Every structure is written in C-alpha cells, then in structure tokens.
C-alpha cells in the first residue's frame, strides 16, 4: 500500500476515534452540566431583568454567552473531526486514482491529514483562548483543507489511465 | 447494450458478494439501513417537529421577556422551563438524526476496508454486531432523553436514556478501535490482499465519486464563506439582541422589546438554515462517494444504476440549496427541500434493494452448487 493511502486510511480511522473519544468525554462529563448552566444563566438574566436589576441581568447574560460560546465550539470540533475523518478514509480508498506522481500524492495526503487534524483542533482551542491565534489557525487549516481537496479533485479528473490493481 | 455497459459487465465478473452474515454484509446492509432510517427520521422531524418547535421556543421566549417587562419574576422561570424543554426536544432529535446517518457512513467505510482487517472472520463478524448494536443504541437513547428525563436515574444530571446512549457510543468507539488494530496488524504483516470490489469501476460509481467530491468541495467553500462572513457577526448580533431584550425588559420599553424579539427570531432562522445547508451538502457528498464503492453490488442494468446515481445527486443538491433559501421563499423552499431529501432516500432504498437482489441471486446459486 502506498504511503499516501496509508496516511489517509490509518490517519482517518485514528481521527474518527479521537473525535468519538472527544464526543464521549464531552457527553458524559461536560455537556449536561454545560446545558444546565446555560439555562440557569438565562433564567437568572431574565429574573434579574424582572427585578429591574440591569447590572446583574447583564452579568448573568455574560455567563450565558461564555457557556454557549464554549458549547457551540465543543460540538463543532466533535462533528468536524468525525466528518473529516470519514472523508480521509474515503479518499484513502480511491487515492490511487489520483493522476499525480507518488511524491505529490504523499504530500497531498499529509496536507489533507494536517488540515483535518488542525481545523477541529483550532475550533477546540477557541474554547481555551479567545485570542486571534486559534482563529488564525482555523483560517489557515480550512484553507489547507480546501486547497488540498481541490488538488485531489483535479488529480482525479486528470487521471485517464486504465484501472490499476490495488496492492492493499 | 452499449460498449460502456459491456465494459461494466465485464468488470463485474468475479465480484462475489460478501458471504452470508459476513462482517462485510452486516456492515453494508446495516450501514445503508442506518442511513435510510436516519434520513427518514430527519425528513419526518423537519416536516412535523422542526418549525412548530421553533415557533414554540420563540413564543415562550417572548412570554418570558414580557413577564420580565411586567416585573413578574416568578413567571420567567416557568416560561424558561418550557423553552428548555422545547430546545431539548429539538436538540435530541437533531442528534439522533445526525448520529444514525454518521454511523451508517462509518459502517459502509468499514465494510469497504474489511478485507484488509487482519482478524478472523468470526471476530470481524462479532465486532460488526457490536458496532451495529451501538449504532442503533446511541440514537435511540438520545431520542428518548427528552421523554425519559431523570426518572429513576442514579445520577444527578444524567438520565437512563443518556446512560444507554453513552454505552452505545462506547460500543461504536471500541469496535472501531479493534478494527483499527486489525488494519494496523495487516500493515505490519506486509501481506497483499486483493479485493475485487475495490478494483471494479462502473459508470455509476464514477459519477457518484465525481459528483460527491464536487458536493464536498462546494460544502467546504460554503462553510469557509459562512465562517468568514457570518459566524462571528451572527454571534455578536446574538449577544447584542439578547442584551437589547433584557434592556428593553428592565426599562419597560415594549416596542423596543418586540423589535429585538423579532430580530432575534430572524437571526436564529438565518443561522439554522446556513448551518443545515453546509452540513447537508457535505454529508450527501460523502454519502455519494461511499456509495460509489458499492455500485458493482447493485443488481440493476447500468442505465438504471446511472439513473439512481443522478437521482441521489439531484436530491443532494436540491435539499441544501432549498434549505438555504427557506427564509426568503418560506414554505415553497421548505417543501422543495423535503422533496430533495425524499429523492436521496428513494435512491438509497433503490440501491439497497439492488444490493439485496445481488446477494439473493448469489446465495441461491450457492445453494444449488454441490
């Protein structure tokens, strides 16, 4: 089996497992508590508004914002890890049909794997830091993913050769 | 028969369907069944629950805001209990739909990889059962969370339905882990395994692979555009509107409250359709690519295989595009989106029947062979 296919298939399954571990951890240890806290903060914000305590209402709303920000990104990271993992496995199965030199295919596979690992990771890192670094990483990794996938699509389209035996 | 058809038929010679109750057959048929079930559930949810539920969330949020405006602190919590319940109803159903389809995709991918997993057939079959049971348990458990709640639960915030759902997730996780180990063992052994299915190429398969890849790329491009132009702006707007709702409630500004609530509802709708369009176009692209591998197993004429591939691709474009236009064109776009979903389901069921016919024919042939 070529290096490119090995990178995509093994990398893809490993990434799916990471995504599942992350999802299981989040569902068991964090999600229920997070959702309860989000609801509590929102109720508190509106209750304080009813009591005409504007400042306390805004404080509770700020809590809600922070909790929702983290929850949305945890769910996004989980979904993207598994979705991208499946895409890597699919590409790995058919990667011999990409009409490029083996060296370029290996680089392309490494680029795809790097993008698929880094993009959800950058989304996850946004839960730890509100700075610009995780966001910059998100932009760079999504650009890498789109660029490598477009090259792979071009490679599939340009391959006019007969089916070759797959040496898996 | 055209020359193209003849070539496809030639390629099919020697491609045996997976043996009776083999791991590949279990994962293949189970995977498609999971995807079909997930999609039918998603379509029913979209038609009968989604919009009605969103409107109930909106009206209870408005009622909570009005209660805050009138200084009735005790009523606020009651309205938010309703909001929480409706959001849980929506969230658990979306989760059940997504997980059922995703596990179906993973099952199909594992079915393709089965020949390269260096474990005994008996082990692979047993693990396939664990995978499929876990794949059914998780969405069913998630679906029941809203109805079972915390009844008789030994834990403070996690009910029995969640416990079963998590157990299903762990079963899927462990079985995938074992398959990964088998794949790793195969690579270590440096044994060459040849699978006729992976070598076979049909016109319908090529169409699905190319179409699927284009859909995934479009979905990626749309996701990048959404992240760059809408994501952070919508998050900021969400926060601002909630803050405005609270401010209007505190200062008893009824027109201001009504305006902020209307804008908030509009924003939620805008967010929902953009995310749903992004997710569905990529999911359908991935599905088309995965199904391209199994076209040699679909026992229809090449012309019909191509037709079903086109139906699947057409539905895969119609649904996300119409979802995207739902806010502008309302029920018309919603109805067309449901039609797109139905096209995908019909094509998928047709392919499932084609595979079942192929297997049935093979089994009956094997039965008469001495």
Average pLDDT over residues B253-268: 91
Per-residue pLDDT, B1: 34
**Residue A163 pLDDT level (bands cut at 50, 70, 90):** very low
Say which residue, B22 or B211, is predicted with more confidence.
B211
Say which residue, B73 or B291, is predicted with more confidence.
B291
Where are the alpha helices (H) located in chain A, listed in sequence order? 3-25, 32-50, 54-94, 102-125, 132-158
For residue A51, list chain B residues with Cβ-Cβ distance below 8 A: 71, 73
Flag whether residue A83 sits within 8 Å of chain B, measured between CB atoms. Answer: yes
Tokens at B358, concatenated: 């192929």
Instruction: Give the gap in angstroms from C-alpha A43 to the nearest C-alpha of chain B.
Output: 6
Average pLDDT over residues B261-274: 91
- Smallest Cβ distance to A23: which of B169, B176, B184? B169
- Share of residues in chain A with pLDDT > 70 (%): 95
Q: Output the CA torsion sign for B81, B85, B87, B88.
A: positive
Flag whether residue A145 sits within 8 Å of chain B, measured between CB atoms. Answer: yes
Average pLDDT over residues A50-79: 91
Which of A125-134, B3-12, B144-153 is predicted with the least confidence, judged by mean pLDDT? B3-12
Interchain pair B223, A142: CB under 8 A = yes
Average pLDDT over residues B5-15: 42
Contact B275, B225 (CB under 8 A): no
Where are the alpha helices (H) located in B13-72, listed in sequence order? 23-45, 51-69
Which of A74-88, B62-76, B214-228 is predicted with the least confidence, judged by mean pLDDT? B62-76
CB burial of residue B365 (10 Å; 0-12, 13-18, 19+): exposed
Tokens at B349, concatenated: 């069921």
For residue B243, list chain A residues with Cβ-Cβ distance below 8 A: 58, 61
Per-residue pLDDT, A168: 31
Say which residue, B261 or B189, is predicted with more confidence.
B261
Per-residue pLDDT, B363: 73
Instruction: Calculate the dihedral angle through the C-alpha atoms of B59, B62, B68, B72, rounding to the nearest 10 degrees.
Output: -30
Residue of B nearest to A45 (CA): B246
List pLDDT tens digits, range A1-59: 789 999 999 999 999 999 989 998 998 888 888 888 998 998 999 999 888 888 899 99
For residue A163, list chain B residues with Cβ-Cβ distance below 8 A: 11, 199-201
Window 9-38 of B: residues touching A by CB (8 A cutoff) are 11
Q: Is the ipTM beyond the 0.90 threshold?
A: no
Average pLDDT over residues A50-75: 91
Per-residue pLDDT, A120: 95
Nearest to A17 by CA among B200, B7, B170: B170
For residue B283, list chain A residues with Cβ-Cβ distance below 8 A: 83
Which of A26-40, B106-120, B190-204 is predicted with the least confidence, judged by mean pLDDT? B190-204
Place of tokens 């994962």: B27
Per-residue pLDDT, B224: 92
**Residue B72 pLDDT level (bands cut at 50, 70, 90):** confident
Average pLDDT over residues B165-190: 91
- Say yes or no to pLDDT of A164 above 50: no
Q: How far does Cα B275 stand from its chain's mean position?
A: 13
Nearest to B36 by CA among B365, B299, B356, B257: B356
Tokens at B240, concatenated: 């601002």
How far is Cα B208 from Cα B289, in angstroms, rounded to an integer?
6
Residue of A nearest to B213 (CA): A153
A97 φ/ψ angles, rounded to the nearest 5 degrees:
-85, 0
Flag whether residue A79 sits within 8 Å of chain B, measured between CB atoms. Answer: yes
Place of tokens 């200084």: B71
- Share of residues in chain B with pLDDT > 70 (%): 91
Tokens at B206, concatenated: 């090529």
Per-residue pLDDT, B15: 59
Per-residue pLDDT, B251: 87
Q: Give the predicted TM-score (pTM) of the model.
A: 0.84
Q: What is the mean pLDDT of chain B?
A: 87
Per-residue pLDDT, B12: 43
Per-residue pLDDT, A161: 56
Q: How far does Cα A84 stand from its chain's mean position?
A: 7
Residue to substitute from B27, B61, B68, interface A, most A β-carbons within 10 A: B68
Average pLDDT over residues B102-108: 93
Contact A153, A91 (CB under 8 A): no
Interchain pair A87, B246: CB under 8 A = no
Nearest to A49 by CA among B251, B265, B60: B251
B60 backbone φψ class: left, alpha, beta (φ>0; ψ -120 to 50): alpha
Average pLDDT over residues B88-117: 91
Flag whether residue A32 sits within 8 Å of chain B, measured between CB atoms. Answer: yes
How far is Cα B168 from Cα B165, in angstroms, rounded to an integer?
5
Say which residue, B66 or A110, is predicted with more confidence.
A110
């Amino acid at each position: 089996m070529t290096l490119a296919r090995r990178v995509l298939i093994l990398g893809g399954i490993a990434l799916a497992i990471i995504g599942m571990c992350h999802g299981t951890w989040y569902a068991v240890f964090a999600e229920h508590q997070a959702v309860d806290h989000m609801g509590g903060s929102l109720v508190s914000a509106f209750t304080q508004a009813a009591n005409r305590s504007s400042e306390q209402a805004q404080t509770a709303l700020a809590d809600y914002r922070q909790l929702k920000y983290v929850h949305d990104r945890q769910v996004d990271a989980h979904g993207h890890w598994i979705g991208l993992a499946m895409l890597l496995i699919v590409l790995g199965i058919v990667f011999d049909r990409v009409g490029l030199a083996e060296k370029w295919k290996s680089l392309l596979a490494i680029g795809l794997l790097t993008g698929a690992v880094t993009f959800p990771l950058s989304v996850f890192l946004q839960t730890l830091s509100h700075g610009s670094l995780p966001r910059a990483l998100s932009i760079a990794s999504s650009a890498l993913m789109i660029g490598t996938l477009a090259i792979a699509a071009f490679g599939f389209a340009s391959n006019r050769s007969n089916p070759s035996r797959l040496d898996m | 028969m055209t020359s193209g058809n003849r070539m496809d038929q030639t390629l099919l010679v020697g491609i045996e369907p997976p043996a009776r109750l083999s791991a590949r057959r279990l994962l293949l048929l189970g995977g498609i069944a999971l995807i079909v079930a997930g999609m039918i559930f998603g379509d029913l949810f979209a038609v009968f629950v989604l919009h009605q539920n969103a409107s109930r969330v909106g009206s209870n949020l408005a009622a909570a805001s009005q209660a805050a405006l009138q200084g009735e602190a005790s009523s606020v919590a009651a309205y938010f209990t309703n909001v929480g319940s409706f959001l849980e109803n929506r969230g658990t159903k979306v989760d059940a739909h997504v997980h059922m389809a995703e596990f179906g995709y993973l099952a199909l991918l594992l079915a393709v990889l089965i020949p390269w997993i260096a474990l005994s057939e008996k082990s692979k079959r047993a693990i396939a059962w664990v995978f499929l049971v876990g794949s059914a348990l998780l969405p069913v458990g998630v679906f029941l969370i809203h109805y079972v709640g915390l009844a008789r639960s030994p834990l403070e915030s996690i009910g029995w339905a969640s416990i079963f759902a998590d157990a299903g997730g762990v079963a899927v996780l462990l079985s995938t882990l074992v398959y990964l180990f088998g794949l790793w063992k195969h690579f270590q052994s440096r044994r060459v395994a040849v699978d006729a299915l992976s070598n076979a190429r049909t016109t319908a398969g090529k169409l699905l692979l190319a179409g699927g890849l284009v859909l995934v790329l479009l979905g990626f491009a749309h996701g990048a555009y959404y992240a760059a132009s809408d994501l952070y702006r919508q998050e900021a707007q969400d926060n601002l509107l909630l803050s405005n709702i609270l401010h209007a409630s505190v200062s008893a500004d009824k027109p201001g409250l009504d305006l902020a609530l209307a804008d908030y509802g509009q924003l939620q709708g805008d967010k929902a359709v953009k995310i749903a369009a992004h997710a569905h176009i990529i999911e359908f692209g991935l599905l088309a690519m995965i199904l391209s591998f199994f076209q040699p197993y679909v026992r229809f004429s090449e012309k019909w295989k191509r037709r079903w591939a086109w139906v699947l691709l057409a539905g895969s474009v119609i649904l996300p595009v119409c979802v995207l236009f739902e806010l502008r064109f309302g029920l018309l776009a919603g109805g067309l989106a449901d039609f797109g979903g139905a096209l995908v389901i019909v094509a998928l069921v047709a392919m499932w029947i084609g595979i079942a016919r192929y297997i049935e024919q093979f089994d009956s042939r094997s039965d008469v062979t001495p």
